[in-house]
Amino acid sequence: MRSRKTAQADGVGSAWPDGELQRLPVGTLQLDSGAKLPDVVLGYETWGALNEDASNAVLVLHALTGSTHVSRGSSHEDGWWEPLVGPGRAIDTDEMFVVAPNIVGGCYGTTGPSSPAPDGAPWGSRFPFVTLRDSVTAEAQLADALGIGQWHTVVGGSMGGARALEWAAMFPDRVQRCICIAACVASTAEQIAFAQAQLLAIRQDPDFAGGDYYDGVSPAAGLGLARRIAHITYRSEPDLGARFGRLPQGSEEPLAHDDGERGRYQVESYLDYQAGKLAGRFDANSYIALTEALTSHDLTRGRGSIAEIFTGTGIEFVIAAVSSDRLYFPAESERLVKELPPDVSVRFEMIDSPFGHDAFLIEAGQLADIVR
Amino acid sequence: MRSRKTAQADGVGSAWPDGELQRLPVGTLQLDSGAKLPDVVLGYETWGALNEDASNAVLVLHALTGSTHVSRGSSHEDGWWEPLVGPGRAIDTDEMFVVAPNIVGGCYGTTGPSSPAPDGAPWGSRFPFVTLRDSVTAEAQLADALGIGQWHTVVGGSMGGARALEWAAMFPDRVQRCICIAACVASTAEQIAFAQAQLLAIRQDPDFAGGDYYDGVSPAAGLGLARRIAHITYRSEPDLGARFGRLPQGSEEPLAHDDGERGRYQVESYLDYQAGKLAGRFDANSYIALTEALTSHDLTRGRGSIAEIFTGTGIEFVIAAVSSDRLYFPAESERLVKELPPDVSVRFEMIDSPFGHDAFLIEAGQLADIVR
């Protein structure tokens, strides 16, 4: 293996520091829907160095509101998979060249609704419908630009897991291993239902202004409500019960209504915090675009069965589920395992956790065992 | 047993037809919070006739958005427990005298936020915080007025089950049997979390106007969103999956976004329907008041343990849970069964159903076996 310095000098992001945003223009994107999205830029970060035969590249795909910032690298901010990705960690950036692109439609460096359209104004309500497949199309151009013919591993959790499956289906020759954590073959009716509630929460915020709010106030209340709904589904009843129960928040009195509004329970304060945190860092139109992209997710659409899609590909699959996941039920992951063709390698892993879906971000030890 | 006609002639609702709304003024209600609610009227319906020793009275308590209309009676509209309550049915109105009051804070005949305050204008935002206990206090006056010293049975599902438990705790001498279906001892952290999202959905609707919308437009969009969130929790993933899967609604195209908004999936159309139906029949302020009443539900508050509350009462309990309930988990019902003191009779019943929480309205056969 060549040294990091030498290897990076060959690549697009040569000499670029680990864990800092880079941007690759990929031109006009032919969308899954038939429409075209012009002037697309892909935001991404990298860690480590590509080796001589380009055999050590790992693609890490983020979830719905995730970003390119998987690990600290040379930045000052921890990444969303910090315990898993870095020097000496399960995804060892001393050994592997790790790439994390922001999804098309997002707001972390890649073209999305808040990006300028050709007329210079933000896309806003004019941003076209995108699917997870559109992002894979763009990410393949990023792989080309980085000199990566085949990924050693494509890995992600939740929507990132769905993106990993899409990579495997669209470019089976370019995916050696596919690790899909807490995701499923197709968004379920219940996921669509919860998504609808979240989209309405945003769209019914008067500040949303039909999606063209960039010269006004952001629809923080609507986005915050969407996040609250989502966050409950990311956790589990036992988790919330054990952490908060019926306790009041600080000195607030949930049974006192003297001034009209009552005091809060701890769990309400916790969700207020989660809501505010997301509203402060995420674009509401991106939330809508990506939620609709995820809702559209159906690996089999236009392709036939799971067995038909993957027969003869030789991809090594690792499918992991979370025992307490009440949004991406383990049964869905097990169904995928059963439907994969007999000629591909597949390993099923159950993450034993009380935290629900979010265990894919939390259970560092078990995740490390899975991806190592 | 005396004939229906004779018996009814003795009671408050004498000669009043079965299944039609009656109203009993109960004066000023001393609330659980310490405040007072003046001029309270209790709406209720009855079926059948009270027998001579007043030993055949059954109190049926409705859930969050339920009403007094449990069974058709002489009306033209089916009740919400139609298959269970009526002549010859499990709760046999040829044999029993059935009473169903609307909860305090509701909008089906009992004083609630849409009722006129002493100044003649609707209470609106001024309506005080009420708890499930307040309604039991008022309902005890109804029992007095009807000449019912002790209920043969108090029965309810969901919030109705919680109300039944409150009855047993507040007036153990007046409750012979308590049937509690798909309810729990105290609202859980997750239930509080889902409730918060629903309350915000309503309060963030600009038409809500802080609760004083009665001279304007009703906050139908907010109430509809609250209902969508709630309805998902009332069902189950397998139920929604089996009924709707990823099917589009009619000829709508969920992947086509030509005019901005995409077509709907069936499950979205279903939830739109549920939202519209509730918004057309329910008051948003009542939804808030009753959701907060339910959130406040904690049978043990100020009373000690379940064992302490019920020791020596001699009440016969039937505690039923729904196998697929993801809002009122069966484990909560089982916990209640375990905590009841050894000297009371208790039977636990599991309703085996894929429908989730709403099975307490749907599984007529199993419910009949439980209450018969």
Supply the DSSP string of A88-135, one letter for each residue. TSSEETTT-EEEEEPPTT-SSSS--TTSBPTTSSB-GGGPPP--HHHH
Strand partners, B85: B91
Predicted confidence (pLDDT) at residue A8 exceeds the cutoff of 50: no
Predicted confidence (pLDDT) at residue A144 exceeds the cutoff of 60: yes
The predicted pLDDT at position B9 comes to 40
Interface contact B246, partner A, CB < 8 A: yes
Interface contact A369, partner B, CB < 8 A: no
Interface contact B217, partner A, CB < 8 A: no
Strand partners, B131: none
Q: Which amino acid is at A70?
A: V
The predicted pLDDT at position A1 comes to 36
Which 3 state secondary structure label does DSSP give A369?
Answer: helix
Q: One of B325, B333, B353, B358 is an active-site residue; which one?
A: B325
Q: Name the residue among B228, B255, B329 with its Cβ closest to that of A196.
A: B228
Which 3 state secondary structure label does DSSP give A178?
Answer: strand
Strand partners, A340: none
Q: Which residues contact B278 (CB under 8 A, 6 or more apart)?
A: B65, B223, B224, B227
Instruction: Give the model confidence (pLDDT) of A302-330 as tens digits.
Output: 999 999 999 999 999 999 999 999 999 99
Nearest alpha-carbon partner for A351 in A236, A237, A241: A236
User: What would the DSSP string read from start to end of B272-334?
Assistant: HHHHHHHHHHS-HHHHHHHHHHHHT-BTTTTT--HHHHHTT--PEEEEEEETT-SSS-HHHHH
Q: One of B67, B114, B115, B158 is an active-site residue; which one?
A: B158
Nearest alpha-carbon partner for A363 in A302, A307, A322: A322
Predicted confidence (pLDDT) at residue A257 exceeds the cutoff of 80: no
Size of interface A-B (CB pairs under 8 A): 145
H/E stretch holding B177 reads strand B177-181
Active-site residue list of A: 158, 325, 357
Which residue in this structure is represented by tokens 């892909």?
A42
Q: Which residues contact A147 (CB under 8 A, 6 or more apart)?
A: A10, A11, A12, A50, A54
Percent of chain B with pLDDT over 90: 94
| C-alpha distances in Å from residue A209, one per residue of A217, B156, B337 | 9, 44, 51
Q: State mean pLDDT over A147-169.
A: 98
C-alpha span between B125 and B308 (Å, rounded): 38
Nearest CA in chain B to A255: B296
Strand partners, B348: B319
- The mean predicted confidence, pLDDT, of chain A is 95
Tell me whether residues B246 and A193 touch, CB distance under 8 A: no
Which segments of chain A are extended strands (E)?
Answer: 22-30, 36-47, 57-61, 85-86, 91-92, 97-101, 153-157, 177-181, 316-322, 345-351
H/E stretch holding B98 reads strand B97-101
Q: Name the residue among A187, A197, A271 with its Cβ closest to that of B193.
A: A271
The predicted pLDDT at position B190 comes to 98
Q: Is residue B33 a contact partner of residue B168, using CB atoms and an 8 Å limit? A: no
CA distance B141 to chain A (A): 25
Instruction: Give the model confidence (pLDDT) of A204-226 as tens digits.
Output: 999 999 999 999 999 999 999 99
Q: Is residue B198 a contact partner of residue B190, using CB atoms and an 8 Å limit? A: no
Two tokens at B271?
């939830």
Q: State mean pLDDT over A176-202.
A: 98
For chain B, 372 residues long, give each residue's pLDDT as a single digit of tens. Answer: 333 433 444 444 457 899 999 999 999 999 999 999 999 999 999 999 999 999 999 999 999 999 999 999 999 999 999 999 999 999 999 999 999 999 999 999 999 999 999 999 999 999 999 999 999 999 999 999 999 999 999 999 999 999 999 999 999 999 999 999 999 999 999 999 999 999 999 999 999 999 999 999 999 999 999 999 999 999 999 999 999 999 999 999 999 876 667 899 999 999 999 999 999 999 999 999 999 999 999 999 999 999 999 999 999 999 999 999 999 999 999 999 999 999 999 999 999 999 999 999 999 999 999 998
H/E stretch holding A208 reads none
Interface contact B265, partner A, CB < 8 A: yes
C-alpha span between A319 and A333 (Å, rounded): 7
Q: Tell me the Cα Rg of chain B.
A: 21
Terminal Cα distance for chain A, rounded: 19
Q: Which amino acid is at A164?
A: A
Strand A91-92 and strand B97-101: the pairing is unpaired
Q: Which residues contact A204 (CB under 8 A, 6 or more apart)?
A: A222, B201, B204, B205, B221, B222, B225
The predicted pLDDT at position B71 comes to 98
Instruction: Name chain A contacts of B192, Cβ cutoff 8 Å.
Output: 246, 265, 267-268
Instruction: Give the model confidence (pLDDT) of B195-213 as tens digits.
Output: 999 999 999 999 999 999 9
C-alpha span between A267 and B188 (Å, rounded): 10
Q: Which residues contact A53 (CB under 8 A, 6 or more apart)?
A: none
C-alpha span between B64 and B320 (Å, rounded): 18
ipTM summary value: 0.95
Tell me whether residues B192 and A298 touch, CB distance under 8 A: no
Predicted confidence (pLDDT) at residue A115 exceeds the cutoff of 60: yes
C-alpha span between A41 and A31 (Å, rounded): 14
Interface contact B243, partner A, CB < 8 A: yes
Nearest 5°: the CA angle B354, B355, B361 is 135
Could you tell me the pTM of the whole model?
A: 0.95
C-alpha span between A12 and A24 (Å, rounded): 9
Q: Name the residue among B190, B235, B265 with its Cβ closest to that of A240.
A: B190
The predicted pLDDT at position B256 comes to 81
Q: Which amino acid is at B170?
A: M
